[in-house]
Each structure stands twice: as structure tokens, then as C-alpha cells.
Amino acid sequence: MTEFERAVYEAVKSIPEGKVATYGQIAKLAGYPGAARAVGNALHRNPDETNVPCHRVVNASGGLAGSFGFGGPYEQKRRLMAEGVYVMDLTVDLSDYLFEEGSL
């Protein structure tokens, strides 16, 4: 595992149940601002989905991952809804569910 991946996974662990963060937020928190796409790649290789809740990471518009690595976007939707995050048309309303970056 790379230092970048470790930093990303630690950042993702800080997102509480019932909230989401964007790939860009995670990149910034991990110390790699501008590396949103690389965050997505790292999450696709997440070795510990139980402890690294990558389903809580969405794109900048609130969209779910088209290729969510643990069962596709409908599995990501199922996991988010089980935590109380409402998902409509594979999109989360960031005005309701975005975990504020300053709180991360």
C-alpha cells in the first residue's frame, strides 16, 4: 500500500455514518489537493471495505460511483440508504448530506 493510499483510507474513515464527502474533499484532507481522480482509483482498490467506508464518497455533484468496486452503484446506494442517506437517481443531495470539510 502506498503512502497516498494510506492517507486516503484514513481520511475516508473520518466520514461519519449518514454523511458523504467528495473525492476532492478526501484528496485535500489526505494532503493531495487536486488528486480527486487518484482518490477514486485508490478507493476502487480499497483492501478493507469494512473499516474504510468508501461508499460514503461521491463525486462533486453528489453522484454515486458508476463503477463502485464493491457491487456497483446500486450497492453503494443500498449502503448509503441503510445509513439514512437519501439517494435519488443515484445522486445524493449534497446540501443535506455533505460532511463539512472543516469537520473532517
- Are the beta carbons of 29 and 104 closer than 8 angstroms? yes
Q: Where are the alpha helices (DSSP H) in the chain?
A: 3-13, 23-29, 36-44, 73-82, 94-97
**CA nearest to 101, candidates 18, 13, 22:** 22
Catalytic positions, written as ranges: 54
pLDDT given at position 68: 63
- Are the beta carbons of 39 and 26 closer than 8 angstroms? yes
Considering the entire predicted model, what is its pTM?
A: 0.91
pLDDT digits (tens, 9 = 90+) for 51-66: 999 999 999 999 998 7
For residues 21 and 13, what is the distance between their CA atoms, to the nearest angstrom? 11
Per-residue confidence of the chain (104 residues) as pLDDT tens digits? 899 999 999 999 999 999 999 999 999 999 999 999 999 999 988 888 889 999 999 999 999 987 766 777 899 999 999 999 999 999 999 999 999 865 54
Domain ranges of the chain: 3-103
Does domain 3-103 fall under CATH 1.10.3720.10? My reply is: no
